[in-house]
Amino acid sequence: MTERPVATRLLVAIWLGQLASLVGSSLTAFVLGVWVYQRTGSVLQFSLIFLAATVPALLVAPLAGTAADAGDRRTLMLRADTVAAVGTAALAVLVATDQLAVWHIYLATALTAGASTVHQVAYQAMTPALVGTRHLARFNGFMQISRAVQIAAPLIAGALVVTIGIGGVLTVDLLTFAIAAGTLFLVRLPAAVTRPPADGTAKQPRGGAAEGWRHLRDRPGLLHLVIVFGVFNFLFGIAGVLIQPLILSFADAATLGVLMFAGGAGLFAGSLVMGAWGGPRRRSRAVIGGLAGGGIALALHALAPSPWLIGVVAPLFLFTLPIVNSSTMTLLQLKTEPAVLGRVMAAARVIGDAAVPLAYLLAGPLADAVAEPLMAPGGALANTAGEVIGTGPGRGIALLFVVSGTAMVLLAAITAASRTLRRADDLPDAVPAPAG
Residue 50 CA to residue 25 CA, distance in Å, equals 14
Predicted confidence at residue 252, as pLDDT, reads: 85
Domain contains 70? yes
Residue 276 CA to residue 351 CA, distance in Å, equals 29
| Tally of domains in the chain | 2
Of 151, 170, 196, the domain-final residue: 196
Of 196, 229, 254, the domain-final residue: 196
User: Same structural domain for residues 419 and 344?
Assistant: yes
Predicted confidence at residue 78, as pLDDT, reads: 96
Integer angstrom CA distances of residue 358 from 97, 155, 366: 36, 28, 12
Burial class (CB in 10 A: 0-12, 13-18, 19+), 48: middle
User: Same structural domain for residues 230 and 171?
Assistant: no
CA triple 256-262-265, angle to 5 deg? 145
Q: What number of CA atoms fall less than 13 Å from residue 27's CA on the CB side?
A: 28
Of 142, 169, 196, the domain-final residue: 196
User: Same structural domain for residues 176 and 238?
Assistant: no
Domain contains 322? yes
User: Same structural domain for residues 218 and 147?
Assistant: no
Predicted confidence at residue 13, as pLDDT, reads: 87
Predicted confidence at residue 86, as pLDDT, reads: 95
User: Same structural domain for residues 232 and 191?
Assistant: no
User: Same structural domain for residues 249 and 109?
Assistant: no
Burial class (CB in 10 A: 0-12, 13-18, 19+), 78: middle
CA-derived radius of gyration, the chain: 22
Quote the DSSP letter at residue 69.
T
User: Same structural domain for residues 99 and 126?
Assistant: yes
Residue 90 CA to residue 112 CA, distance in Å, equals 12
Domain contains 205? no
Domain contains 132? yes
CATH of the domain at 46: 1.20.1250.20
User: Same structural domain for residues 157 and 32?
Assistant: yes
Three-class secondary structure of residue 306 per DSSP:
coil
Domain contains 203? no
User: Same structural domain for residues 214 and 128?
Assistant: no
Residue 129 CA to residue 15 CA, distance in Å, equals 15
User: Same structural domain for residues 239 and 184?
Assistant: no
Predicted confidence at residue 43, as pLDDT, reads: 56
Quote the DSSP letter at residue 3.
-
Give the residue from 82, 70, 171 showing the smallest Cα distance to 119.
82
- Phi and psi angles of residue 188, each rounded to the nearest 5 degrees, phi first: -85, 120
CB-CB contact of 246 with 108 (8 Å) = no
Q: What is the pLDDT tens value at each position of the chain, 436 positions in all?
A: 445 556 567 788 888 898 889 888 888 987 888 788 778 876 567 778 878 888 899 999 999 999 999 989 999 999 999 999 999 999 999 999 999 999 999 999 999 999 999 999 999 999 998 888 888 999 899 888 877 777 667 667 777 877 888 999 999 999 999 999 999 998 888 888 898 876 544 444 345 678 899 999 999 999 999 999 999 999 999 998 888 889 989 988 678 778 888 888 999 999 999 999 999 999 999 999 999 999 999 999 999 999 999 999 999 999 999 999 999 999 999 999 888 999 999 999 999 999 988 898 888 889 889 999 999 999 999 999 999 999 999 999 999 999 999 999 999 999 999 999 989 999 998 854 444 4
User: Same structural domain for residues 403 and 305?
Assistant: yes
Enumerate residues 6+ apart whose C-beta is below 8 A from 23. Answer: 149, 153, 156, 176
Domain contains 204? no
Predicted confidence at residue 198, as pLDDT, reads: 61
Residue 368 CA to residue 393 CA, distance in Å, equals 10
User: Same structural domain for residues 221 and 111?
Assistant: no
Predicted confidence at residue 48, as pLDDT, reads: 81
The residue range of the domain holding 114 is 1-196
DSSP element (H, E) containing 225: helix 220-248
Integer angstrom CA distances of residue 179 from 23, 28, 90, 123, 125: 11, 16, 19, 16, 21
Domain contains 434? no
Q: What number of CA atoms fall less than 13 Å from residue 10's CA on the CB side?
A: 15
Domain contains 400? yes
The gap from C-alpha 47 to its chain's centroid, in whole angstroms, comes to 17
Q: What number of CA atoms fall less than 13 Å from residue 308's CA on the CB side?
A: 0
- DSSP annotation string for 319-384: HHHHHHHHHHHHHHHHTS-GGGHHHHHHHHHHHHHTTHHHHHHHHHHIIIIIIHHHTSTTSTTTTT
